[in-house]
């Protein structure tokens, strides 16, 4: 087989990554470019679309330069993206209406609560597998339309998530499309059909002509055109939302295979096969991917804050100078003693779905040190994930025998060991932690015919580290009891 190079673009919450992968699964190079976060009001989070695009352009340019790869060597492109972040723009001019509303933003809480009062939550859940929460795109789309209606030319307006915006720009403003793993996060898509649902569109007051068309995840979405950093004619052959891309990158192709990605938040996703199962335990049902017109579904649990809690210790409290310091600092104490940190800095996600809840640090005394708070932060990240795993095990009526982990915080060995111990489950960490970008590359290569089937992809997946759980559960049981007590207190407030 001749050598093929795939470009993956991973557009995330705090930065964009470009990654080059060859047909043997080897990462040739990568580059991450960060961009600013915008907080115009309390609980509001925005991105400037120009910053997003510039970060993508710079990431690709630097990746190609560092790897000594010419753009003409790229056979295809895969895209993965922060899923629910929403934009409104003019398809002729490309001008955006305001900033992008980020998935973490809570500005539409009242709108969602009003729909709940109308008794619409069950109907929406049964069609979408999601809950009525400002996390998802539907209420954000409604807000954008209502707040920019005076400056909006509706015949040229487009509402979309980041994947749609990137394809639009990469193809010279020609293609306006999305795919089911992203569409299924909008509250507007019926996950049984993988298409927009007219009843849901009426509820959220979204005209269907403002939305992109939905294609399979491994189709040819268009080709590059008119760019100064890539040649014309490179096909875009795969798109997945970031967590679905990580599931694909971890080669979780069989039912019950499960991964956890530790990024800004923590996202646990389980492949459940070709039949959607709606959760009674606070989990989301979502489309993992749609290839060759066959939909694969997943159960998902979402913690809104994971790595962002470490960033808060750095930027908000000044306890550490950089994120990498937290592991060494936390290891200065044997345990967190009475200190407990619930990192609900953007509300509680799965399985509670309490967007108004605030984070809390409990059990502080005169003897509390920075090390105790650092350790409690890692424990809080692990324990909120445990709540999700417990819900998944209840849903599936069987334990999760192993958990595949990835994302930047998976390099924190102490966090991974705490996670294994509180779950009493072994963790498996791949050789390359950029599984989200790799998943986008896999899907694009799959769509382009570089790989013919999923078994070929499985052979490329290498496990580098295994974290075996400590069977002495005394300390873990104390942690869990402390966590459960503080969660109950928080939920009552």
pLDDT score, position 1 = 37
Cβ contact 249:144 at 8 Å: no
Instruction: Please identify which residue in the block is written with the tokens 């059909």.
Output: 193
Q: What is the pLDDT along the chain (493 residues), one digit of tens a residue?
A: 355 899 999 999 989 999 999 988 899 999 999 999 999 999 899 999 999 999 999 999 999 999 999 999 999 999 999 999 999 999 999 999 999 999 999 999 999 999 999 999 999 999 999 999 999 999 999 999 999 987 777 788 999 999 999 999 999 999 999 999 999 999 999 999 999 999 999 999 999 999 999 999 999 999 999 999 999 999 999 999 999 999 999 999 999 999 999 988 899 999 999 999 998 899 999 999 999 889 999 999 989 899 999 999 999 999 999 989 999 999 999 889 889 999 999 888 899 988 888 999 999 999 999 999 999 999 999 999 999 999 999 998 888 888 999 988 899 999 999 999 999 999 999 988 889 999 999 999 999 999 988 889 999 888 889 999 988 888 889 999 999 999 988 887 6
CA angle 160, 164, 165 (to 5 degrees): 85
Q: How many CA atoms lie within 13 A of 70 on its CB side?
A: 3
* Tokens, residue 393: 């095990």
pLDDT score, position 41 = 92
The CA distance from 255 to 238, in Å, is 22
DSSP β-ladder status, 402-406 and 426-430: parallel
CATH topology of domain 5-242: Nucleotidyltransferase; domain 5 (3.30.420)
The CA distance from 247 to 298, in Å, is 9
The CA distance from 452 to 434, in Å, is 23
**3-class SS string, the chain:** CCCCEEEEEEECCCEEEEEEEECCCCEEEEEEEECCCECCCCCCCEECHHHHHHHHHHHHHHHHHHHCCCHHHEEEEEEEECCCCEEEEECCCCCECCCEECCCCCCCHHHHHHHHHCCCHHHHHHHHCCCCCCCCHHHHHHHHHHHCHHHCCHHHEEEEEHHHHHHHHHCCCCCCEECHHHHCCCCCEECCCCEECHHHHHHHCCCHHHCCEECCCCCCCEECCCCCCCCCCCEEEEEEEHHHHHHHHCCCCCCCCEEEEECCCEEEEEEEECCCCCCCCCCEEEEEEEECCEEEEEEEEEECCCHHHHHHHHHHHCCCCCCCHHHHHHCCCCCCCCCEEECCECEECCCCCECCCCCEEECCCCCCCHHHHHHHHHHHHHHHHHHHHHHHHHHHCCCCCEEEEECHHHHCHHHHHHHHHHHCCEEEEECCCCHHHHHHHHHHHHHHCCCCCHHHHHCCCCEEEEECCCCCCHHHHHHHHHHHHHHHHHHHC
How far lies 191's CA from each of 87, 298, 301, 321, in Å?
22, 11, 17, 44
Q: Is the pTM of this model over 0.85?
A: yes
The CA distance from 191 to 323, in Å, is 38
Q: Determine how many CB atoms are found less than 10 A away from the CB of residue 220.
A: 16
pLDDT score, position 108 = 96
The CA distance from 292 to 219, in Å, is 8
pLDDT score, position 20 = 97
Rg (CA), the chain: 22
Cβ contact 438:240 at 8 Å: no
Cα 147 to the chain's mean position, in Å?
27
Cβ contact 378:342 at 8 Å: no
Residues 6+ apart with CB under 8 A from 237: 76, 77, 78, 218, 219, 220, 221, 443, 444, 445, 446, 447, 448
Cβ contact 466:426 at 8 Å: yes
Cβ contact 298:183 at 8 Å: no
* Tokens, residue 492: 């009552």
pLDDT score, position 3 = 56
Residue 362 burial class via C-beta count within 10 angstroms: exposed 0-12, middle 13-18, buried 19 and up = middle
Cβ contact 292:362 at 8 Å: no
User: Positive or negative CA dihedral for 13, 403, 23, 236?
Assistant: negative
Torsion of CA 178, 180, 185, 186, to 10 degrees: 50
């Amino acid at each position: 087989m001749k050598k093929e190079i795939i470009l993956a673009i991973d557009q995330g919450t705090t930065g964009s990554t470009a990654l080059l992968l060859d047909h043997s699964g080897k990462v040739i190079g990568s580059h991450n470019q960060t961009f600013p976060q915008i907080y115009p009001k309390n609980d509001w989070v925005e991105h400037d679309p120009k910053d997003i695009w510039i970060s993508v352009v710079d990431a690709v340019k630097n990746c190609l330069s560092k790897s000594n790869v010419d753009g003409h060597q790229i056979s295809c492109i895969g895209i993965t993206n922060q899923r629910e972040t929403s934009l409104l723009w003019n398809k002729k001019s490309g001008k955006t209406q305001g900033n992008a509303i980020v998935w973490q933003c809570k500005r539409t809480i009242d709108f969602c609560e009003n729909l709940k009062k109308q008794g619409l939550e069950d109907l929406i859940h049964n069609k979408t597998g999601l809950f009525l929460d400002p996390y998802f795109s539907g209420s954000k789309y409604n807000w954008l339309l209502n707040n920019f209606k005076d400056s909006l030319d509706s015949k040229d307006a487009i509402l979309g998530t980041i994947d749609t915006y990137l394809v639009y720009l990469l193809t010279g403003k020609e293609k306006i499309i999305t795919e089911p793993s992203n569409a299924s996060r909008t509250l507007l898509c019926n996950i049984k059909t993988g298409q927009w649902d007219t009843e849901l569109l009426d509820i959220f007051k979204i005209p269907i002509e403002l939305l992109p068309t939905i294609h399979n995840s491994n189709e040819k979405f268009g080709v590059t055109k008119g760019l100064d950093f890539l040649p014309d004619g490179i096909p875009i052959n795969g798109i997945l939302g970031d967590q679905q891309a990580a599931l694909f990158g971890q080669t979780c192709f069989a039912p019950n295979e499960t991964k956890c990605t530790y990024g800004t938040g923590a996202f646990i996703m389980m492949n459940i096969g070709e039949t959607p199962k709606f959760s009674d335990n606070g989990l989301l049902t979502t489309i993992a991917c749609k290839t060759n017109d066959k939909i694969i579904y997943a159960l998902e649990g979402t913690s809104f804050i994971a790595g962002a809690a470490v960033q808060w210790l750095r930027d908000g409290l000044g306890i550490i100078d950089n994120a990498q310091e937290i592991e060494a600092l936390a290891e200065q104490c044997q345990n967190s003693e009475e200190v407990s940190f619930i990192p609900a800095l953007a509300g509680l996600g799965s399985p509670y779905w309490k967007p108004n809840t605030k984070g809390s640090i409990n059990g502080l005394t005169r003897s509390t040190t920075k090390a105790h708070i650092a350790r409690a932060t890692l424990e809080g990240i692990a324990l909120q994930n445990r709540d999700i795993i417990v819900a998944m095990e209840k849903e599936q009526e069987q334990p999760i025998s192993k958990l595949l982990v990835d994302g930047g915080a998976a390099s924190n060995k102490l966090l991974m060991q705490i996670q294994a111990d509180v779950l009493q489950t072994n963790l498996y960490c791949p050789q390359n932690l950029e599984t989200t970008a790799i998943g986008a590359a896999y899907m694009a290569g799959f769509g382009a015919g570089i790989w013919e089937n999923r078994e070929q992809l499985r052979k490329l997946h290498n496990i580098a580290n295994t974290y075996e759980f400590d069977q002495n559960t005394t300390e873990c049981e104390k942690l869990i009891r402390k966590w459960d007590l503080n969660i109950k207190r928080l939920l009552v407030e």
